[in-house]
Structure formats: C-alpha cells, structure tokens
C-alpha cells in the first residue's frame, strides 16, 4: 500500500502531477486561515527526518513503473515539504531514477535557511507562497510558528529566486478584506519587482477553507481587479482562468481502491465528478466507493459544494 506517493492527479497549474509527501499529516510551519485541510497538528519550524527517504524512493520507483504518464513529480502533500531534512537528498535521488521534471510547492516559511534554498535550487520548478509583505497581515493569514519572521522570508525568497535557474511561480492567496488594500498591492508589487520570480498565480478559497467564518472566496471580478492593480513585469494568472481540472490521461494497472479516494480527499476535498476526472473513471464508479466510505463513517460530504472530506 502506498504511504508517501499520491496520484498522479490532474493539477490546474502542473498538468498531471505525481505527489510525494515527506511529512506526517498536517505537519506545517503555518496554520493558514484558508487551509483546506484540518487544523495543523504539528505546528513547528524545526526541520526533521520524518520518514525513511530510501523507503519513499523505493515506493516512488514502484509507482513510476505502474503508471503510464505523469508531467511532474511534486513534493507537496499534507504539510510543508521544506520541513523535511531529506528534501534535498530526495530531489537528487529522484533525478537519478527519472527524467520527469521536479516541482516543490512551499509556503516559503523556511526559505531564509541556506540548506533549504540549496535543496530547492535542484528543483525544476518551485511554487512558493507570498500573500503579504506586512508582518501583521502575514501573521493573521498564516499563523506562523513562533520564531518565524516575514522579513527573513522576504529576503530568503529574493535570494532564492535570483539564483534559481528554473521557474518560480509565486502563489498569492487573495483573502478579501485581509490582503487586498491598495497599500498591500503597491508594496507587494514593489517587492515582487525586486525578486527573480518568473510568474504570479492569484488563488482564492475555491475549496472550503479551515476558517470559513473569516475567509471569503474572492469573486472572478475581484481577482481580475487585483490582477489589474498588481504592477509587475511578469505574467499573472488567476485561479478562475485555471478552473477546469485537466483530464487524467494516466492509467494505473491496478483497480481503484477506497484508499485511492481517501488519500486524494485527505489532500484535496473533491466532488464525485472531480474524482471521476482525476482517476479517469465514471462518476458512478466513484459514487459506489464514496457511498461505501460514507456508510463506514469515514468521509462526509459538504451539502453546498458536494465536496467529500475525511471525517475528523
Ligand atoms: S495552506 Fe499549506 S501552508 Fe497553510 S496551513 Fe495548510 S498546508 Fe500549511
């Protein structure tokens, strides 16, 4: 049974992405208001070895032999991948077993550490998050672990993006009322123009956020307005331009199991329809499994969006 590898799942920004999760569920330096996962269980900024990297590599080799296609191998998952001390080793070793490009999705919180930058420099693409250049806003949105400071993150991200040969696309998570004032946008634009970032992706809470009492989804018009006000010289796209989840063209030789569904919705709460696209099967086939999991009281469905999520 797979422990660390999930997918490949169709991703709005990456096409088909095979995920590698190096941290235990919800181990993160942040506890973001907009997170689509349950509250952070291990809130830490201490880098550690969480799993045996050679075991993960052997699982990865097995999955690569089983699937027919993936566009990216992506280090991400249910927490912050740079918390893993083994990230650099994993990227280097993965490059030895496949030509598939490697991406890391990071919240940027540890990018001030030279050893984290060194690991990230090996990735073909890095997707860092930066949602504000104001300490107070950053603290409010992300609830970082106690010793983390935004000024270190900003400087680390600047150094990294200038040195990185691959693509670095920053995600700005737009939280209406929190980080969308003219002052926020002006300062963020100035900062972005001082980095080597190659593009910007404006995201918003398209799935149910952790603090739905505070976080509201920005409308397509609000994201367009934000985009217009961002005075940067690099391409900017929005979540609504990437709404359609691409079809999964990768086939596994194994039949779909309950754990394939639970592993996906642990990371991405999804509807039957979305999962049918992800796994390349019919909606009815997915519904048979989700109904079974519901009867076992393992998952629940949001009545408004139809998204399934694991029961806490
Ligand atoms: S959104 Fe990402 S960075 Fe924020 S708490 Fe969730 S997993 Fe951590």
| Residue 53 in this model has a pLDDT that exceeds 90 | yes
Domain extents for the chain?
Answer: 5-253, 255-312
CA–CA gap between residue 177 and residue 157 (Å, rounded): 25
Protein residue closest via CA to atom 1 of ligand 1: 35
Percentage above 90 pLDDT, the chain: 64
pLDDT at 258: 85
For residue 199, give the H/E element and its range. Answer: strand 199-203
What predicted TM-score, i.e. pTM, was given to this entire model? 0.86
Query: How large is the average pLDDT for residues 229-245?
Result: 84
**Higher pLDDT, residue 254 or 293:** 293
Ligand 1 neighbours, Cβ below 6 Å, are 28, 30-32, 35, 37, 40, 79-80, 107
- The tens digit of pLDDT for each residue in 202-226 reads 999 877 788 888 898 999 999 999 9
pLDDT at 74: 97
- Phi/psi for 84 (5° steps) reads -80, 125
Pocket test for ligand 1, best of 23, 25, 28 (most atoms within 8 A of CB): 28
pLDDT at 246: 55
Does residue 223 contact residue 239 with C-beta atoms inside 8 Å?
yes
The class of domain 255-312 in CATH terms is: mainly alpha
Average pLDDT, the chain: 90
Q: Ligand 1, residue 143: give the atom nearest the CA.
A: 5
CA–CA gap between residue 67 and residue 74 (Å, rounded): 15
Residue 198 pLDDT level (bands cut at 50, 70, 90): very high
DSSP state of 30: -
Pocket test for ligand 1, best of 33, 40, 84, 105 (most atoms within 8 A of CB): 40
Fold of 5-253: TIM Barrel (3.20.20)
Pocket test for ligand 1, best of 37, 139, 207 (most atoms within 8 A of CB): 37
| Residue 245 in this model has a pLDDT that exceeds 60 | no
CA–CA gap between residue 74 and residue 222 (Å, rounded): 30
For residue 136, give the H/E element and its range. Answer: helix 135-142
- The tens digit of pLDDT for each residue in 105-151 reads 999 999 999 999 999 999 999 999 999 999 999 999 999 999 999 99
């Amino acid at each position: 049974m797979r422990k660390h590898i999930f997918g490949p799942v169709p991703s709005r920004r990456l096409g088909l992405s095979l995920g590698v999760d190096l941290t235990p569920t919800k181990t993160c330096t942040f506890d973001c208001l907009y997170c689509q996962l349950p509250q952070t269980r291990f809130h830490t900024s201490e880098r550690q070895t969480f799993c045996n990297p050679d075991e993960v590599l052997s699982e990865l080799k097995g999955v690569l032999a089983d699937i027919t296609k993936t566009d990216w191998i992506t280090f991400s998952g249910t927490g912050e991948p740079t918390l893993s001390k083994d990230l650099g080793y994993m990227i280097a070793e993965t490059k030895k077993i496949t030509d598939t490009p490697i991406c890391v999705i990071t919240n940027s919180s540890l990018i001030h550490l030279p050893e984290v930058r060194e690991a990230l420099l090996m990735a073909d693409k890095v997707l860092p998050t930066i949602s504000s250049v104001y300490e107070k806003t950053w603290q409010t949105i992300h609830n970082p672990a106690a010793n983390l400071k935004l000024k270190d993150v900003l400087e680390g991200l600047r150094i990294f993006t200038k040195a990185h040969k691959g693509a670095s696309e920053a995600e700005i998570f737009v939280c209406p009322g929190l980080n969308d004032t003219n002052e926020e946008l002006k300062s963020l634009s100035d900062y972005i123009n001082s980095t080597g970032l190659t593009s910007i992706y404006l995201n918003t809470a398209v799935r149910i956020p952790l603090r739905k009492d505070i976080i509201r989804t920005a409308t397509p018009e609000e994201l367009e307005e934000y985009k217009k006000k961002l005075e940067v010289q690099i391409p900017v796209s929005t979540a609504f331009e990437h709404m359609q989840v691409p079809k999964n063209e990768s086939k596994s030789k194994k039949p779909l199991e309950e754990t394939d569904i639970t592993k996906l919705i642990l990371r991405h709460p999804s509807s039957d329809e979305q999962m049918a696209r992800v796994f390349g099967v019919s909606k009815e086939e997915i519904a048979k499994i989700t109904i079974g999991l519901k009867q076992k009281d393992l998952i629940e469905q949001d009545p408004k969006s139809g998204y399934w999520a694991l029961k806490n």
